[in-house]
Structure 1
Amino acid sequence: MPVMVSAEVAPVLRASGPPGLPLLGHLVPFGRDPLAFFARLRDEHGDIAAWSLGRRRSLLLSRPEHIAEFLGAVERTFEVIDISWMFRRLIGASVLLSRGEDWRRKRALVQPAVRPRQVRGYAATMVECGAAHADGWHDGRRVDVMGEMNALTQRIIVRTLFGGDVGDRHRALADAVAVAQREIGAELGSVSLFLPGWVRTPARRRLLAAVATIDAEVNRLIGDRMAAGSGPGQGDDLLARLLAARDEKGRPLTPREVRDEAVTLWAAGHETTATTLTWTWYLLSRSPRARERLHGELARVLGGRPPGYDDYERLDWTRQVVKEALRLYPPAWTVSPAVAHEGATLGGAPVPVGTTVWCSPWITHRDPRWFPDPEAFRPERWDPDAPTAVPDHAWFPFGGGQRACLGARFALVEATLLIATLAQRFHLDVDAGEPTPHPGILLQPAEPLRATLRAL
């Protein structure tokens, strides 16, 4: 914790932590169960806890004020680092991993494609795909919830990103992205995280094979679009917008840059929403009161018609349900770490240069100081008239600051409209039992969640 001292004495950053192993640091407990490890750091060592990943000196933040200060300083005195060789192979030099002027240019080019005005145009596709998916359901059918939500959000991302150009090949592309994400998540907690890129473990070979499949398909799509001509008015899907984007000097994204951004949008815009939906159905199944209130709102606001973009703001309880699901089970259980440069501070105290700073929505979202009875599913926490306001940056499933997720609006609208579309027609009664969250690249159930569909 930072300590307040007189003006004549420089403030000192006070951070304690558990002892680690030589060379490995705290890799073993982090790799075994990072959620429990981070929670122990918070509970036993305070709001700024010291630890290490290999030889990398690290701090874990859990207090909202510190998180806000840190996220707001990224790109100024903190720099996002490339923690995983595998992750870089998948998304390349996309806006997610770019830095400095390169990051500012790419953000300016990509951001317009996912602004609210563009998301409005995608809302009809989201609802249409949701309704078509529900057409294949029937009363009493047994389903794997994650599998169903993955299939649905894949359909949506294919339509919104590629305009349906993928055809029958979308299955191979989706499978390759799933393999890549699985291998990246597994490497985060293993010794292979520290191996140089030229070391080809079996997992890395599987990753490279998956990336080759992704590259072949995405590069084909980009080549076909470029051959046909792209520019303003040449399509309204995300790929067309990326190809048509121009920076302040009139320069487009290169084909490689378009590939990196398209793959990032696919990976971030598909399985993250599927994960959010999976946890939401689980929580609703365990809360009859919340589910009953959801159906009451849908009947009152929609009156049996399909939802539209303008209904997003009207579906107050539905949005609160989604927001509470993101609190309890944030798909991104940790925010991309960043390394301190000269001038970096936390709580008014300087952070040693080279220190890596982490923060985790999982531990802050479940801190009883900010969320009374934190394990309970209570969507009413998010009512504007709730008696206890949630502090800024106590909830940050999409990160924050300049590095906040560009697709946050897309994801929130998609999850809300899909819950509304499907819940008008079915209950998903998830089997009894407490699922174990598995923190890979995303926070997903460790075992499949099975449910029985109940037609309404």
Structure 2
Amino acid sequence: MSTLPLEPVPGPRGLPLLGNLPAFGRDPLGFLVRLRDEYGDAVTWSLGPRRSLFLSHPEHIAELLAARETGYDILEIGWAFKQVTGDSVILSKGADWRRKRSLVQPTVRPRQVRSYAATMVACAREAAGAWQDGRRIDVREQMALITQRIVLRTLFGNDLGDQTRALGDAMSVAEEVIGAELRGINLFLPGWIRTPARRRLLRAVAAIDAEVHRLIDARQRRPDDIEGRDDLLSRLLAARDDEDRPLTAKEVRDEAVTLWAAGHETTSTALTWTWFLLATAPDVRERLDAELDQVLGGRPPTIDDHDRLVWTGQVVKEALRLYPPAWLIPAVAREGATLGGTRIPTGTIVWCSQWATHRDPRWFRDPSRFRPERWGPDAPDVIPDHAWYPFGGGQRTCLGARFAQVEAVLLLATLAQRFRLELPPTDPGPRVGLLLQPSAPLIATVRARDIPAIRRIPPVTS
């Protein structure tokens, strides 16, 4: 329990029935930052008819995330989100959640992630083989193609051939519709109402489901083949709980699609923002080049290089601070829930936002600046626990966090070792959906690097 008392204060007045939903929908990030700056660390507001509480202090956030399984229920974020994730571990509760987590977690443990590192690097190198000096690329599209290939190979054991791009497009439709629903009145529409966007989503989910169920059926028809495979789908099919029960085909589908969506979109989004930030900071990029040349010496990275690529890891961590792909975490208070010694009324939606916390000047000097050195062992500022939490925290922390962090570092190292990306000096700003994507395409010019002899890593000018 936090030793910091929680003293909620009322936030801005809302409209009848809609509450603060219009203001939140117009500018979700700005609205949450205003709650933090103009009202305080614990602010009550209303999302439509629902009472809400927004937290900004890391101590309260840590307490909330630690208690999400025991004192809070999952907020089902709209009809659209449910169509994609089904009843996966991300939305399960109680004993069902504990069972599913115990079955899914071993598929993404560090030992398993280590075995996927070579696939990550190979996919990045394949993509880089098509890059040429002077070529113009859409950064997000290129990052998505790489992470899509990685997640399909590690999850399903192959690229799915001609289906790869079509399934990637279907997943993009799903993310777009979920994000739009989260920001607007459609969040409160019953599931039987079929808007044009919902019909698009159903078509996309049907395409995804058809391919996933085809793969599941193929593996189940050859059970002996499952034991010899190392992909995530085979591991899900082979998993057994304490009573020796497997996941059903529907449960495997839900977990596989959730891992796919999280593993593909999160990392590609993080890398897109990383390239944008590197283009704005020549000194950071120079130090990155020096580390890659010194540690790798011209060869591709391996999992054994991950911990040696210290500056590369700090670059990724700082990009996740400034542009966390997941930007909002909700939880619904159960009877008896407390925070900071204060009882939280049953049914209250308690929110915290990575965007607002990561850019709080109390925890980060020059919060809007890209400064990877703030994560170094000799950094002068102490950053509180849960002032940085791009993957959540507590028992419900993102199961794929290790996968995503290793993947981002190895992909950045593989690509940045050979290329720089030149971008125009304009900030697209984030587009708020399920994830924080750039609001406009980032069209970059590829510049090939000459990999020089090993050289000393230069300091970064703060």
Matches within 5 A, 1:134-283: 134-164=128-158, 166-229=160-223, 233-283=227-277
Query: 2:300 is matched with which residue?
Result: 306
Query: 1:324 is matched with which residue?
Result: 318
AA in 1 matched with 2:377? P
Give the Å deviation of 1:271. 1.1
Q: 1-side partners of 2:79 and 2:52: how far apart? A: 19
2:70 aligned counterpart, secondary structure: coil
1:118 aligned counterpart, secondary structure: helix
Q: 1-side partners of 2:22 and 2:159: how far apart? A: 44
Query: 1:354 is matched with which residue?
Result: 347
Displaced runs of 4+ in structure 1, greater than 3 A?
none
Cα deviation code 1:312-347 (max 9, x no counterpart): 111000000000000000000112x11111221111
Query: 2:10 is matched with which residue?
Result: 16
AA in 1 matched with 2:355? W
Matched-pair contact (CA < 8 Å) for 2:422–2:446:
yes
**Deviates further, 12-21 or 79-88:** 12-21
Q: 2-side partners of 1:15 and 1:75: how far apart? A: 26
Cα deviation code 1:176-235 (max 9, x no counterpart): 111111011011111111111111111111111111111111111110111111576330
Query: 2:34 is matched with which residue?
Result: 40
Give the Å deviation of 1:83. 2.2
2:162 aligned counterpart, secondary structure: helix
Among 362, 374, 377, the residue aligned to 2:367: 374
Query: 2:400 is matched with which residue?
Result: 407
Give the Å deviation of 1:165. 5.8
Matches within 5 A, 1:39-58: 39-58=33-52
Give the Å deviation of 1:388. 1.2
Matched-pair contact (CA < 8 Å) for 1:341–1:353:
yes
2:414 aligned counterpart, secondary structure: helix
Q: 2-side partners of 1:429 and 1:3: how far apart? A: 48
Tell me, yes or no, if structure 1 residue 419 matches structure 2 residue 408: no
Q: 2-side partners of 1:287 and 1:436: how far apart? A: 17
Matched-pair contact (CA < 8 Å) for 2:6–2:42:
no
Matches within 5 A, 1:91-110: 91-110=85-104
Query: 1:393 is matched with which residue?
Result: 386
Q: 1-side partners of 2:6 and 2:63: how far apart? A: 17
AA in 1 matched with 2:335? E
Equivalenced residues, count: 448
AA in 1 matched with 2:236? L
Q: 1-side partners of 2:6 and 2:409: how far apart? A: 45
Identity within the alignment, % = 66
Matched-pair contact (CA < 8 Å) for 1:230–1:244:
no
AA in 2 matched with 1:111? Q
Note the aligned Cα RMSD (angstroms): 1.4
AA in 2 matched with 1:64? P
Tell me, yes or no, if structure 1 residue 59 matches structure 2 residue 53: yes
Cα deviation code 1:386-433 (max 9, x no counterpart): 111210000000000011000000000000000000011100111221
Q: 2-side partners of 1:356 and 1:154: how far apart? A: 33
Query: 2:25 is matched with which residue?
Result: 31
Q: 2-side partners of 1:57 and 1:300: how far apart? A: 54
Shift in alpha-carbon separation, 1:50–1:297, aligned structure 2, 3 A? same
1:75 aligned counterpart, secondary structure: helix
Query: 1:444 is matched with which residue?
Result: 437
Tell me, yes or no, if structure 1 residue 81 matches structure 2 residue 75: yes
Q: 2-side partners of 1:299 and 1:206: how far apart? A: 47
Shift in alpha-carbon separation, 1:12–1:275, aligned structure 2, 3 A? closer
Give the Å deviation of 1:167. 2.1
Q: 1-side partners of 2:153 and 2:424: how far apart? A: 32
**Deviates further, 342-351 or 362-371:** 342-351
Q: 2-side partners of 1:108 and 1:280: how far apart? A: 33
Give the Å deviation of 1:276. 0.3
Shift in alpha-carbon separation, 1:12–1:33, aligned structure 2, 3 A? closer
Shift in alpha-carbon separation, 1:373–1:68, aligned structure 2, 3 A? same
2:264 aligned counterpart, secondary structure: helix
Shift in alpha-carbon separation, 1:3–1:51, aligned structure 2, 3 A? farther
**Deviates further, 11-20 or 315-324:** 11-20
Give the Å deviation of 1:65. 0.1
Query: 1:293 is matched with which residue?
Result: 287
Query: 2:428 is matched with which residue?
Result: 435
Tell me, yes or no, if structure 1 residue 454 matches structure 2 residue 447: yes
Q: 2-side partners of 1:185 and 1:339: how far apart? A: 20
Give the Å deviation of 1:12. 7.7
Matched-pair contact (CA < 8 Å) for 1:230–1:243:
no
Give the Å deviation of 1:15. 2.2
Q: 2-side partners of 1:227 and 1:175: how far apart? A: 29
AA in 1 matched with 2:402? R
Q: 2-side partners of 1:3 and 1:89: how far apart? A: 40
